[in-house]
A and B are shown apart, each in its own frame.
Chain A
Amino acid sequence: MSRRFDIQYVFEFIPKLLAYLNITLLIVGSSIVLGLLIGLIVALPRLYNTPVLKRLSQLYVSFFRGTPILIQLFLVYYGLPEVLGWIHIDVSRLAVLYFVIATYALNSGAFISEMIRASVAAVNRGQIEAAHSIGMSSYQTFTRVIAPQALGISIPLFGNLVIGNLKDTSLAFTLGVMEMTGRSQTLGTATQHFIETYIALSLIYFVISFGLEKGFQWMERYVNRFDGHRSEKTLRASWRRPLRAAPLLGKGGKSG
């Protein structure tokens, strides 16, 4: 099926794949930024218990968490031009990359909205009552008491989301986007050294996820530095970090 295994190719392929790292990171970066925006908008109706909008946001989150990202990719790619066509917006000539970013943004948005909701809910209720009792307004309570603590709680969840998103970008090649995995396919086909390409690619993904994980751990410690209890806990063995499939935010084996 393919030629003899030669470790030399692994080292040769790494720089070739890294040339496409910027596309992968572009997809991750832009979809996470857009996802944060979408997530916040989607989380608000549920935080404030707005009647009809709350149901809609539940439906949105349930759909994007309940279907595989691969299906979502195809759905957006084939469906978005059609749906936007009904309101006379023509996007059929847009580059595939934008559809991919849109899908990942919509998908991350659902997970991020759950993250925001869970983090806000995790802030001790007594803190909010205390803030109100010393005369803070709702807005003050949110910005001064809830948000800073929710941020500390959400960082490990957010880190897992970003790493999951990175791993999911490997699926963008199915629509023909030339990111690292797409490049690995062409490299493999051209040289018939598939195993070496995928080893090289796995190493790259591994190093990036590892770096991201360490970065988020550092950030978590930094944000929680005034919270002795929590910062101490994160100092302990790193593999204890909950799965991406933490109870509230499951995506499980995370297709990724």
Chain B
Amino acid sequence: MNLDPSFIWTAGLSLLQALPETLWITFVSVAAGLVIGTAVALCRMYHIPVLSQLSAGYVAFVRGTPMLMHLLLIYFGLPVLIDGISSAMGWSFTSASIPLIGFVWIAFSITAGAYMSEVVRAGIQAVDKGQVEAAQSIGMTTIQTLRRIILPQALSVSLPNLSNSVIGMLHGSTLAYTISVVEINAQAQIVAADNWKYFEAYIAAAILFWVLTILIERISGWLEYRLNAYQRGGAL
């Protein structure tokens, strides 16, 4: 067995076909995770009675179990739940009409939500308490304070954490192959098995992920620079 460098290029080109799938999984889980995470973090920070305990349990469970478990639990558990409910209610909707990638989206959004809630919480706590008091003293409501004062500042503080979470979800998307969604990892296996060149195919996959990760880091660095413009003082 010898390394065939030219096959790394060939495999890389075929992996690009699966790139959109990987990006979709990452994007949807991060976007949904941000929404869930913000809701969960706010529930916990404002000590809303039942919701804050539920949120605490959710975050603890998700962070204490592997991401693979979330995916498999959703993949095997959700159809049973949905079919049970829809047969009890007499609906015609069944779990068979959910595409495979739907399960991945749901499972990874749940994963991302718990991790994001920590990112959002850390960001909000980093905002100076005096800013909140100042906003309230000029008569802003809680919602206004959140939207105009806290969240914009929290966003710029939490960008490094956020980009780490995005990278984490990008890397986690490789797990989707366990339920036969063809993302980059699954595509690498297909190309490798077709040509019996496993090492080359995975080198290509690794390089692709490496490039994507560095790209995310660069973009986040640039965004951080832009968002912190107001703190540098003077003209941009």
Q: Please tell me which one of the listed residues A167, A171, A243 contacts residue B119 in the complex, with CB atoms under 8 A apart.
A: A243
Q: Is the CB of A167 within 8 A of B67?
A: yes
Q: Please tell me which one of the listed residues B112, B118, B209 contacts residue A66 in the complex, with CB atoms under 8 A apart.
A: B209
Q: Is the CB of A252 within 8 A of B206?
A: no
Chain A residues near B210 (CB-CB < 8 A): 62-63, 66-67
Chain B's interface: helix, strand, loop or mixed, by majority? helix
Q: Please tell me which one of the listed residues A67, A209, A246 contacts residue B209 in the complex, with CB atoms under 8 A apart.
A: A67
Chain B, residue nearest A203 (CB): B65
Number of A-B contacts (CB under 8 A): 169
Query: Any chain B CB within 8 A of the CB of A218?
Result: no
Chain A residues near B173 (CB-CB < 8 A): 68
Taken together as a complex, chains A and B put the C-alpha atoms of A242 and B115 apart, in Å, by: 10
| B74 shortest CB reach to chain A, Å | 10
Q: Is the CB of B115 within 8 A of A253?
A: yes
Query: Any chain B CB within 8 A of the CB of A198?
Result: yes
Q: With A2-B80, A251-B164 as given contacts, are A70 and B175 in contact (CB-CB < 8 Å)?
A: yes
Chain B contributes a number of interface residues (CB within 8 A of A) equal to 57
Query: Any chain B CB within 8 A of the CB of A148?
Result: no
| B23 shortest CB reach to chain A, Å | 14
Per-position binary interface string of chain B over residues 166-189, scored 1 when its CB falls under 8 Å from any chain A CB and 0 otherwise: 111111111100100000010011
Per-position binary interface string of chain B over residues 154-167, scored 1 when its CB falls under 8 Å from any chain A CB and 0 otherwise: 00000011011111
Query: Any chain B CB within 8 A of the CB of A255?
Result: yes
Taken together as a complex, chains A and B put the C-alpha atoms of A195 and B122 apart, in Å, by: 34
| B108 shortest CB reach to chain A, Å | 8
Q: With A194-B76, A201-B69, A206-B61 as given contacts, are A245 and B165 in contact (CB-CB < 8 Å)?
A: yes
Q: Is the CB of A205 within 8 A of B118?
A: no
Chain B residues near A246 (CB-CB < 8 A): 161
Query: Any chain B CB within 8 A of the CB of A54?
Result: no
Query: Any chain B CB within 8 A of the CB of A131?
Result: no
Chain B, residue nearest A205 (CB): B65
Q: Please tell me which one of the listed residues A5, A194, A252 contacts residue B72 in the complex, with CB atoms under 8 A apart.
A: A194
Q: Is the CB of A243 within 8 A of B77?
A: no
Chain A residues near B118 (CB-CB < 8 A): 242-243
| B234 shortest CB reach to chain A, Å | 26
| A250 shortest CB reach to chain B, Å | 3
Query: Any chain B CB within 8 A of the CB of A74?
Result: yes
Chain B positions 1-34 with a Cβ under 8 Å from a chain A Cβ: 1, 3
Q: With A2-B76, A70-B175, A85-B1 as given contacts, are A252 and B69 in contact (CB-CB < 8 Å)?
A: no
Chain B positions 124-179 with a Cβ under 8 Å from a chain A Cβ: 160-161, 163-175, 178
* A/B interface sample: 5 pairs, CB < 8 A: A70-B185, A71-B202, A74-B189, A198-B73, A252-B164
- A residues near B, CB below 8 A? 1-2, 5, 62-63, 65-72, 74-75, 78-79, 82, 85, 163, 167-168, 170-171, 174, 181, 194-195, 198-199, 201-202, 205-206, 209-210, 213, 239, 242-243, 245-247, 250-256
